Structures are given as C-alpha cells and as structure tokens.
Amino acid sequence: MKDILVLHWQGEERTETVTFLGETFTLQHKSCGGDVATAQELLAAHDGHVTAISLEDMPLTLELGPARREHAWGQQVVTAVQTTPVVDGRIIRAGLERWAVILADRAQPGIFSRKHVLMTPGLNHNGLAHALEKRGCDLWYADPFIYFGLPGAPGIGSRRSRNQAAPPSLERLKGMDYGRLYPSPNGAAPENSPAPFAWADVIAGDIAVIRRFAPAQLNHKTVAVEYATAEDLADLQMRGVALVVELMPGLGGEYGRVPASAATIEAILTTLQPDPEAALNEDAFLDLMADIDWAPAIHTLQPDEMGVNRFAFVIHPLHVGFVHKHKWFRWTRYLPDDLVEAVAAYLPPLYLSRITGGQSPATGQRVEGILISLGATPRQMMRHDERFTYKQLHRAALMAERKGARIMGLGAFTSVVGDAGITVAHEADIAITSGNSLTVAATLEAAKQAVVKMGATDLTKGKVMIIGATGSIGAVCSRLLAQAIYDVVLVSIEPEKLIDLKRTIQAETPGSTVTIATRPDEFVGSCDLIVTATSAFGQRIVDISKCKPGAVICDVARPPDISKEEAALRPDVLVIESGEVLIPGDIDFGYDIGLPPKTAYACLAETALLAMDGRFEDYTLGRNISMERVKEIYRLFKKHNFQIAGLRSFGEHVTDEVAAHKRALADELRRDPAALTRVQQESGAKLAAMPVQAKGVRSSRSGRGKWAMAGAVMVGVLAGWRLWRTLSFRA
C-alpha cells in the first residue's frame, strides 16, 4: 500500500483508502489553513515518509493559452521538500481533459457540440479549452471578471483563442493569493455575475469557482469540472443545472466511486512509474494513462432531463403576413410588404420555442424539440440561388446542434430547394430529414379517409390524378396510389421523367392504367381524387370548376396550391390539407405553427418519430423517396402510436355534417347533368376573374426591385442588429 499526502490550501482533513489501476493507496488529506508557512511545515514533516505529494488548489505553474508563469508561492512552498515528488496536476490535466471530452461525446453524442462555453476560469484548463474548440464551441473566459472584477467587451469575460498570447493579467496572477485563485464555494456572488452564465450552455472550469460566482439559477446548463462531491452536486441541482460532467477518472472506494482531482491522479501515477528516477513529463505518463479504463461520470441532476432525445425542426414564413405577426417584427406592417419580405430573407435563423411533452406509450422514450425559423418566404427562396438557402439551413443546423438536437427536420419549402436536403445533410454534423416519407404516408391515409367520407365504397374502381407527379413527394405517391387505385393520371412539366415514372409503375403494378400529361385540364373531370404536390408559383394548378361532382382534392403543397376562394366555387368538392399528425404525449409546441393544439405537420412528426425511436440518421433526403422508407416510417408510426389528425380544409375540421352536405350537393349534380354544366360554367367564369396564383403568389411580378435601395439600407440595419445581438449574448 502506498501513502500519498494530499495537501489542500483550505479544506477538511481525512484519510481514505482507494484503489486505482489495480493498486491500493492511502490518501492523507491535510489542510494548511491558507497559510504558506503551515504548508511548508506539513510538507517537510511528510517528506520521505510518503511516496508522493499532491498539491490541491496550489498550482506551481499558471497556464493560459501558450503563456506560462511560475506561481511565486508554489515555488516557495516546494523548497521544504527534498526527497518526495511533488505534483500539482499540470502534467496530466490537459491530456485527460482532452480525452474526457472525447469519451463524454461518445457516451452522449453532441453533449459539447457547438455550445456556448464559459471558462470559469480558463486558467490551467488549456486541454479542456482546446478540446471544446475542436467541437465548434464558442468560448469566453471569465478570468478577468473572476480575478479582477473587470468586464470584457460585452460586459462579461474575455473572448480569446487558445493560440493568442495570454493577457497581461497573467503576470498579476502569478503572485495572487491562492485563496483568490481558488476561492471558497461559499459566499455571495457579485451582483453582475448572471450575465455571462445566462449566455453559456456549458460552464467549464473549477467547481469551487463556479459555485462561488454562478447565480442562483442555472437552468438547463451543463457543468464540466475535474470532479464534484455530493455536496457540489446537491448545490448545482438546486440551481437547476441539468448535467454535470466529471472530467477526471474516479478512484475505487469502499462505498463506490471516489471523485479525484488531476493533482491526486498525477500523484498516484507518479508512484506507479517503472523508473522512479525518470523525469516527470507527459510522455512518462502516457502508457499509464492508456491503461485507465474509464468514462467520465455524467450526472443527470434534473428528472426532466433524463432520457430525453432531442430534435430540431425548421420552418419559415409562408408569406409576409407571418413576419408581421411575430412579436419582434410587428412594426414591419408599416413598411411596404415587398421591402419587408426581401429583407426578412437575410435574417439569421431565429430560435422560436421548445417542443415539449412528446413520449412514446410503447417504449416510454421522451422527446423534446427545438423550433427554428428562417426569414425567407418561399418566393424569396426561389428568387435567390440554392446556396443562399443552404447557408441559412447550415446555420440553423449549428444552432440545433448547440441546443442539443441530434436530428433536424426541414419544413415546408426548405425541403424543396435545391437537392431536397442532400447538401444540407452533407454539410451538417447532425442528421437531417426532409420528413417527406411520413408526409407521403400521412397524405395517402388522409386521402383515403376523405374519399370514404365522400361516399366511395370501392377505391379500386376510382381514378386518381397526381399533379407534380415527378417531384419527390409526387413520385412515390403515384407509385403507392397505383397499387391501391389502378387508374392513375400523372401530370408534370417534365415529360421525360413522366415516361420513366410510367414505366416504373407499370413494372411494379402490372395491370394498372397509367396516363401521362403535362397539363391536367383534359382529365380533371374524370378523377375521383386529385393530389397536388407542386412547387409552382403564380400558376393555376388545377381548374376546380371542371372537377367531377364529389371529387376530393388533397393539397400536399405548403404553401397550398389551391386558395380558399377557389375551393368555395365548388362546394360539392372537398379540398383537404395533407395529413396532419398527432404526436403521442402531452405535446406543446410553445409556438403557434398554424395548426390546432397538439397537431403537427407530417414532416415535423417524422423528425420527432425518428428521435423517439433513436434513429439519429439522415433519413429522407433527395427527390427519390424510397417506398421502403415510407413503409418503414409508417411501421414506426404505428409502433409509437402516432395518429392521423382529423381531416382539415383551410384550417377547419371536416365534420361528418360538412361531408354529408357536400355528398348531397354532389348527388344532385350527378342526377342533373344540365345543373352540373351550369355550375361548371358559372364557377369557371368566376375563376377566370380571379388572379392566377399558387402558393399565395400572383403571376404578376410587377414592382419587383421597387424597394431595392431601401432594402439595402434595411439589410445594413439588420446586420448591425445581428452584431449587437451577438455581442449582447442573446441565446
């Protein structure tokens, strides 16, 4: 058994027996009571009587970035020792910190990725800072605030790369009282201390310093320190800290794991050196460090944070009115819409809310989401090149990763632009899905329910049209619908792809009747079901006046292809939105996404479903949606008890009474061909008088660029606003 003196600047005295790397050690914890002379006396008394000495909170050397200074008191203290090696943890700390961050990330992927990190302090934690920077973290140093009460640029600490020279304050620190370098955790925090901690996602450094300077509320934060005692964990739990990561390996004790500092572990490793005369440096410890079989202890302090899988979902304003409604931008209603819409596209991704309460009744797995919005409307996305939207989505992915999400879904038009998520997935470090697999499954289920509501008894005898058939959603819808309704009409502006799709369907579904066309007009009057899944703007997607009595139109597009005014021309025709989904659990989106409470778009639901099943992988990407993926996501849908929400038409539930009224009108028109002709002619005339549009965008583009100069000025204002937002540490 080897004896080790663990000398504390301040603290309780005790003796404990521990095991490490198969050896047993007696740790004699002594306190010098904050007095250099007492420290020298204790060191002299134990010199030659213990195998190693560990200095706790008494560093011999101070390091910050590439700069290093010897501490005056430390050099004075060790003069009392002639024989026994004295260590302070400097040699192994950096290596173990880097290793610990890697191991923690393996245990909980993304635990440190892209986070805002407040180094509290950064002093003597170069390895930790380096490892966090490699994971894309944004680091700020609280050292000037802690040691000198001096705020940094934004009123908190110093933002500094580890490669920059250490500030002149390091010269002052080398003579500072150890009690100020490592203060007691007890005592009141300065009044202005909440600002840096509010900004941070992760607070990293020394436990005593963090407890001394952190405010009373640290909700949802992660704390990364060398070690934490039961008292430390209880204190942090009361402050609302979510996770505590102990970066150093624990020791074996009589009652389980014993937390240990880098200095104590270094002292233990010193006693295990094969050559006692060898110089103490990192190379001398590498083999022993490689023998340590460990993982950082990760403590979940809040019950609500335990076992939660996190996802993110990106939305955007469907039209400029959504911008006006946001509480931060209500003032924009007094500006020209063209200007507001153009400038909003340049806004950085905006965090909207947390999605809470999702839980699988089958497995008990809980999920939480992050709702993020871009500023561009679909029209603006189409006016800019693909790279413009890719960049915004990449920034959204970084935000999602920082918030702890491991998969991000692309909502509405963000899944349409460019290559439908492939580039975004390639550039992001988290999984990406367009959500289109579940969108297809939910759409087909909703369409089936709608056709049945309108009186159909045998779907195999009907006829279905898919407009936008060669698109990512349209193509797989066409293939699946052909297996249920054998007479299909495929409409697209891409004739070559239509031919290819027709051949695919005929090979998959022998006996099916497949008609292809570049315009729907000729076939609208014979179809029982019409599915629109286009990305077209400023066009009339379907002439509803020509529809068959009692037809169902399922409008998958977002924004929709058909307006409420158009639908009102034929009250016997049922226009429904694509299938919306009920996510199991007491779901709360924290934001009005334009649907009834607890109701989600299918693409959002797919993202939540994948998180619930632990499938953190790129799932639905590109324009060739796999039928196997659609069927698989539907199996997961059933497994976790997701449900199709009630049918909706322009935001209103389609009740049995509404469906019965439409059926009655349709029956009258079927019995009276002359009345049908009259209704079609009258509704056609009214439709012709309406502006031609799709996605709420009229075909006319007059006025474009009218506000270009004002827009440029506005962009400059927004850029300044963003800079202010960054410097103010708005989370």
For residue 319, pLDDT over 90 is answered with: no
194 bridge partner residues: none
Q: Which of residues 718 and 479 earns the better pLDDT score?
A: 479
Q: Which residues contact 392 (CB under 8 A, 6 or more apart)?
A: 348, 349, 374, 376
Task: Read off the pLDDT of each residue in 701-708 and give the average, rounded to a whole number.
Answer: 41
Range with lowest mean pLDDT among 97-111, 304-318, 344-358, 658-672: 304-318
pLDDT class of 1 with cuts at 50, 70, 90: confident
The model's pLDDT over 4-52, given as tens digits with 9 standing for 90+, comes to 999 999 888 999 999 999 999 999 999 999 999 999 999 999 999 999 9
Distance of alpha carbon 359 from its chain centroid, rounded?
18
Task: Find the mean pLDDT for residues 87-110.
Answer: 93
* DSSP of 205-227: E-HHHHHHHS-S--TT-EEEES-
Q: What are phi and psi of 358, to 5 degrees?
A: -70, 130
Q: Give the pLDDT of residue 303.
A: 80
pLDDT digits (tens, 9 = 90+) for 335-385: 888 898 899 999 999 999 999 999 999 999 999 999 999 999 888 998 999
Q: pLDDT category, 150, cuts 50, 70, 90?
A: low
| 708 has pLDDT over 70 | no
Q: What is the rounded distance in angstroms from the CA atom of residue 570 to the CA atom of residue 421?
A: 37
Question: What pLDDT score does 286 carry?
Answer: 81
Domain residue ranges of the chain, discontinuous segments joined by +: 91-254+293-304, 308-437+587-641, 446-582+646-698
Query: Which pLDDT value is given to residue 696?
Result: 56
Task: State residue 726's pLDDT score.
Answer: 41
- Model pTM score: 0.76
What is the reported pLDDT for 713?
Answer: 40
Model confidence at 537, pLDDT cuts 50, 70, 90, reads low
Rounded to whole angstroms, the Cα distance separating 335 from 340 reads 7
Return all residues near 547 (Cβ < 8 A) that are at least 6 apart.
524, 525, 527, 530, 553, 570, 573
pLDDT of residue 254: 82
Per DSSP, helices labelled H in 117-168 are: 126-134, 143-148
pLDDT digits (tens, 9 = 90+) for 202-249: 999 999 999 999 988 999 999 999 999 999 999 999 999 999 999 999
Confidence of residue 584 (pLDDT cuts 50, 70, 90): very high
Q: Do domains 91-254+293-304 and 446-582+646-698 have the same CATH topology?
A: yes
pLDDT at residue number 190: 60
Cα dist from 455 to 484, 486, 571, 659, whole Å: 17, 19, 15, 9
Cis status of the peptide bond prior to 559, with omega within 30 of 0 = yes
Topology of domain 91-254+293-304, per CATH? Answer: Rossmann fold (3.40.50)
**Residue 663 tokens, joined:** 């059926």
CA proximity to 376, closest of 323, 326, 316: 316
pLDDT in tens, 444-471: 888 988 999 998 877 778 899 999 999 8
Give the pLDDT band of residue 306 (cuts 50, 70, 90). Answer: confident
| Ramachandran sector of residue 372 (left: φ over 0; alpha: ψ -120 to 50; beta: rest) | beta
- Report whether CATH 3.40.50.2300 matches the domain 446-582+646-698: no
8 Å CB contact between 299 and 540: no
What whole-number distance in Å separates Cα of residue 390 and Cα of residue 392? 5
User: pLDDT at residue 518 above 50?
Assistant: yes
As a whole number of angstroms, the distance between CA 681 and CA 423 comes to 47
**Residue 697 pLDDT greater than 90, yes or no:** no
Taking 60 as the threshold, does the pLDDT of residue 517 lie above it? yes
Three-class SS of 437-467: HHHHHHHHHHHHHHHHHCCCCCHHHCCEEEE
Span 107-112, average pLDDT = 90
| Pair 535, 555: CB distance under 8 Å | no
